[in-house]
């Protein structure tokens, strides 16, 4: 099976605030030190310069939880590129009109993180103590958003982290299968980076139990992000994101935690720290060689080396 290379991406952390406290969240760095994006000339100039200099067209809005940012629409509307996606837990309910407004502003894809389908298991994932009714309402909001985003004409995908057991994943897939046939969204199974061996075995067991066959493999240019698309005999499609030890030598070559690293080099992340915007090249370390102001990054050797890496991949 040949590997298809897709375009590189810039991940933008909208905020360090989240309305969930998932036990496996790696936070893509230290959320306590991350500020919220401000939709002003400084931010938009930063993003546009990075996209043009690095040759990137794909922007992924993450968090924290991006939908709770009060200026989400302004931020989407102000980023001038053809491919903007957002990753959300889906707890904040939006109507079809709300999603359509974001689509008209430039949003193309919504990625929902849905890891459980019962209130009991939903609460077990939370570090913070929550009430049963909160979990019921959260699950209802996730389903509501899944349907309204699809109804607004957006591309939709559901990410499911294999953090607990085969039964956890099977229950989620069973619940989503009927909805998928009607609303035509994608489903992707993800590793738990805190327990990669266990989660990969869970995903493998699910694929075998469903009799699924791999039909396509993709990797994002300049990134360890690798996805395999599967199909069952009944015509059910889903994909798996697998850990691929892909390293960027200028950053990862002499790293002291390289042998224990399951993420590999995942690409370029942008976050707000203090009064400026910074580039993060690693989620595990916070040292100046992997975390620096964006202008400093563009003036460094890493900028050209990253462009060369993407060109080599493509």
| Rounded mean pLDDT, 54-83 | 96
| Rounded mean pLDDT, 244-265 | 87
- Mean predicted lDDT score pLDDT of the chain: 93
The predicted structure's pLDDT at residue 30: 59
Helix, strand and coil content of the chain, in percent to the nearest 5, comes to 40, 25, 35
* Residue 263 CA: distances (Å) to CA of 225, 242, 243, 269: 9, 10, 7, 14
The predicted structure's pLDDT at residue 29: 57
What confidence category does residue 245 fall into, taking pLDDT thresholds of 50, 70 and 90? confident
pLDDT higher for 34 or 228? 228
Query: Would you call 38 helix, strand, or coil by DSSP?
Result: coil
What confidence category does residue 134 fall into, taking pLDDT thresholds of 50, 70 and 90? very high
Residue 1 pLDDT > 80: no
Per-residue pLDDT tens over the stretch 141-169? 999 999 999 999 999 999 999 999 999 99
Contacts of 211 (CB under 8 A, 6+ apart): 232, 233
Least confident of 5-14, 59-68, 134-143, 279-288: 279-288
Structure tokens at 221: 């240019």
Question: How many whole angstroms separate alpha carbon 145 and alpha carbon 161?
Answer: 19
Residue 2 pLDDT > 80: no
The predicted structure's pLDDT at residue 280: 95
Question: How many whole angstroms separate alpha carbon 115 and alpha carbon 111?
Answer: 12
What confidence category does residue 100 fall into, taking pLDDT thresholds of 50, 70 and 90? very high
The total domain count for the chain is: 1
What confidence category does residue 31 fall into, taking pLDDT thresholds of 50, 70 and 90? low
Instruction: Give percent of the chain with pLDDT exceeding 70.
Output: 97
Handedness of CA 76, 77, 80, 85 (dihedral sign): positive
The predicted structure's pLDDT at residue 184: 86
Structure tokens at 153: 């004409």
Residue 196 pLDDT > 90: no
The predicted structure's pLDDT at residue 99: 98
Closest CA to 282 of 304, 302, 299, 308: 302
* Residue 47 CA: distances (Å) to CA of 29, 54, 156, 270, 303: 20, 11, 24, 9, 14
Question: Which residues on neighbouring strands pair with residue 156, listed in sequence order?
Answer: 110
What confidence category does residue 116 fall into, taking pLDDT thresholds of 50, 70 and 90? very high
Range of the domain at 263: 3-313
Question: How many whole angstroms separate alpha carbon 247 and alpha carbon 29?
Answer: 18
Structure tokens at 167: 């039964």
Q: Domain containing 74 — which CATH number?
A: 3.20.20.70
Computed on alpha carbons and rounded to an integer, the radius of gyration of the chain in Å comes to: 19
What confidence category does residue 243 fall into, taking pLDDT thresholds of 50, 70 and 90? low
Per-residue pLDDT tens over the stretch 201-235? 999 999 999 999 999 999 999 999 899 999 999 88
């Amino acid at each position: 099976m040949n590997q298809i290379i897709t375009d590189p991406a810039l991940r933008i952390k909208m905020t360090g605030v989240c309305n969930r406290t998932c036990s496996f969240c790696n936070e893509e760095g230290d959320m306590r030190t991350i500020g919220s994006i401000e939709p002003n000339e400084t931010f938009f100039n930063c993003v546009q310069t990075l996209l043009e200099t690095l040759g990137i067209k794909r922007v992924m809005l993450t968090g924290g939880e991006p939908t709770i940012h009060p200026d989400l629409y302004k931020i989407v509307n102000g980023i001038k590129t053809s491919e903007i996606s957002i990753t959300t837990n889906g707890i904040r309910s939006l109507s079809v009109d709300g999603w359509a407004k974001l689509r008209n502003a430039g949003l193309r894809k919504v990625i929902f993180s849905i890891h459980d389908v019962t209130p009991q298991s939903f609460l077990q994932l939370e570090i913070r103590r929550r009430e049963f009714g909160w979990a019921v309402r959260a699950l209802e909001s996730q389903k509501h958003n899944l349907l309204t985003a699809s109804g607004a004409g957006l591309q939709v995908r559901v990410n499911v982290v294999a953090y607990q057991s085969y039964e956890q994943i099977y229950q989620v897939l069973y619940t989503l299968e009927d909805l998928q046939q009607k609303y035509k969204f994608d489903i992707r199974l993800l590793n738990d980076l805190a327990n990669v061996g266990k989660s990969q075995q869970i995903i493998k067991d699910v694929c075998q139990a469903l009799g699924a066959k791999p039909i396509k493999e993709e990797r994002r240019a300049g990134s360890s992000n690798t996805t395999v698309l599967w199909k069952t005999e009944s015509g059910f499609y889903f994909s798996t994101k697998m850990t691929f030890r892909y390293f960027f030598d200028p950053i990862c070559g002499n790293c002291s935690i390289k042998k224990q690293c399951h993420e590999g080099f995942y690409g370029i992340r942008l976050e707000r720290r203090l009064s400026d915007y910074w580039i993060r090249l690693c989620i595990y370390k916070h040292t100046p060689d992997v975390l620096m102001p964006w202008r400093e990054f563009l003036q460094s050797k890493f900028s050209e080396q990253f462009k060369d890496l993407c060109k080599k991949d493509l």
